[in-house]
Amino acid sequence: MILNRRRFLGTAAASAALLSSPVALGQTRPRVVIIGGGAGGATAARYIAKDSAGAIEVILIEPSRTYYTCFFSNLAIGGFQPLSKLAHSYGTLASEYGVTVVHDWASAVDREKKEVRLAGGDAISYDRLVLSPGIDFVKEAIEGWDVTAQTKMPHAYKAGTQTQLLKAQIEAMPEGGTFAMVAPPNPYRCPPGPYERVSMVAHVLKQRNPTAKILILDPKEKFSKQGLFMEGWENHYAGMVDWLTDEFTGGVQRVDPNTMEVVLEDETIKADVCNVIPAMQAGGIAQQAGLTNDEGWCPIVPATLQSRMDDNIHVLGDATQNGDMPKSGFSANSQAKAAAMAIRHALTGSRAFKPRFSNTCWSLISTDNGVKVGASYVATDEKIAKVDGFISQNNEDDALRRRTYEESLGWYAGMTADMFG
């Protein structure tokens, strides 16, 4: 039977049944299966496919037909970008690069058989597996909240409907109401960064509801770009934002989505909107595959992104415990290129070079007021190690902040093209 790509993309479960039998397809090329179509997975798929010139069969498993980027999703909440501009498809990866895209859930990895099982019951064999599953929330990290409560107390950490929901809740707040954020402990994925989100919420409320209050209930004593954000909040949203650490509040004891209450050690806050962002861990498929450590993350070999638990599996992005690189889309994209090179080398004998990694995280504080932090990294035996870095400075002039924001717009266009073609 000839495998028709249009049929394949339209009927993932039926096509996956064919993939479970390499003989049926006459498979002669090595096969790389990639789970997760975000910044790590999509980039890896594109680079393995295009740079191997067809020598490697690439299969990408991703349940969503339309991918909404987490990076820039805060800007959608603030009204600076329509959510539609954050939407991307996998059509070019399939049509231009020959990547086979399976729109289904990966339910399990059988490392002994070197198979990925799909939710529909089919299985796909692999020679190398790439996991880029993102994050899941730690169960019972916040008493009273689980994913069933996300329609009342949204996390908005998966862009799309959660982003739209949180934006709608903010815009519907009563005059003088309270927006509460339960911020996550370290380590957490960024973007969508909690403190840029606060800035975007403040931007909306300043225009629509200027007497509203924003409370950040934070288990951390410090956070990335803290001085820049606090300067921005004071300059643009004076008196609106209160950052309260556990040392001050005694910590969040529990939440009640039905009453919209956040219970602290000595008081209870009644919120009109409550953005709950729990503690995080590697995506569930990585846990099921036995690739996580006691801290819930995937240790990797820095130069190749191979799992410390299985040489045939590479783990990218948010799910990794890699050393110094943050959990960002830029990081995942950078790691994906290193992993793609290592995989091509292992399967086809192509040349491999010592990888270098980079990351920049931009944040928007107010209109045309962008800040950034970033670094370069190298692979050592122990970790991906930072070698140099940079950060925006306090009291920068408006022109520089505008250029920083415009730089982020250019990066977004380049990044998404690098991911999706």
The DSSP result for 31-50, as a single string, is: EEEEE--SHHHHHHHHHHHH
Q: How many CA atoms lie within 13 A of 86 on its CB side?
A: 24
Which run of H or of E encompasses 359? strand 356-366
Q: Do domains 5-136+281-351 and 140-278 have the same CATH topology?
A: yes
User: Contacts from 114-120 at CB under 8 Å and sequence distance 24+?
Assistant: 114/312, 115/20, 116/33, 116/35, 116/61, 118/12, 118/13, 118/16, 118/61, 120/12, 120/13, 120/16
- Mind listing the pLDDT tens digit for each residue in 115-129? 999 999 999 999 999
The pLDDT of residue 24 is above 60: no
The pLDDT of residue 20 is above 80: no
Q: What are phi and psi of 123, to 5 degrees?
A: -140, 150
The pLDDT of residue 108 is above 90: yes
> Which two tokens mark 107?
């339910």
- Mind listing the pLDDT tens digit for each residue in 65-101? 999 999 999 999 999 999 999 999 999 999 999 999 9
The pLDDT of residue 6 is above 50: no
The strand pair at 178-182 and 213-218 is best described as: parallel
Q: What is the mean pLDDT of residues 165-188?
A: 98
Q: What is the mean pLDDT of residues 391-414?
A: 98
The pLDDT of residue 10 is above 70: no
Q: What is the mean pLDDT of residues 46-68?
A: 97
> Which two tokens mark 37?
């179509």
Q: What is the mean pLDDT of residues 321-347?
A: 98
- Alpha-carbon span 413 to 69, nearest angstrom: 12
Residue 381 or 18, more confident: 381
pLDDT band at 270; cut points 50, 70, 90: very high
Residue among 259, 252, 295 at smallest CA distance from 276 = 252
pLDDT of residue 28: 84
Spatial neighbors of 2 by CB under 8 A, at least 6 apart, are none
CA torsion sign for 405, 407, 412, 415 is negative
Q: What is the 3-state secondary structure (H, E, C) of 380-408?
A: CCCCEEEEEEEECCCCCCHHHHHHHHHHH
Angle subtended by helix axes 226-236 and 194-208, to nearest 10: 0
Angle at 328 between CA 323 and CA 333, to 5 degrees: 90
Q: Return the amino acid letter for 391.
A: I
Distances (CA, A) of 178 to 57, 133, 202, 205, 210: 52, 34, 11, 10, 11
Least confident of 13-22, 40-49, 169-178, 310-319: 13-22
pLDDT band at 18; cut points 50, 70, 90: very low
Q: How many CA atoms lie within 13 A of 417 on its CB side?
A: 6
pLDDT of residue 412: 98
The pLDDT of residue 22 is above 50: no
Question: In this prediction, what percent of the chain has a pLDDT beyond 70?
Answer: 94
The pLDDT of residue 133 is above 70: yes
pTM of the predicted model as reported, rounded to 2 decimal places: 0.93
- Alpha-carbon span 163 to 83, nearest angstrom: 8
- Alpha-carbon span 179 to 97, nearest angstrom: 45
pLDDT of residue 27: 59
If one looks up domain 5-136+281-351 in CATH, what number appears? 3.50.50.60
Q: Where are the domains of the chain?
A: 5-136+281-351, 140-278
Q: What is the mean pLDDT of residues 359-367?
A: 98
First to last CA, the chain: 29
Q: For the chain, give the number of residues.
A: 421
| Mean per-residue pLDDT over the chain, rounded | 94
Q: What is the mean pLDDT of residues 27-55?
A: 96
3 state DSSP class of 59? strand
The pLDDT of residue 252 is above 50: yes
If one looks up domain 140-278 in CATH, what number appears? 3.50.50.60
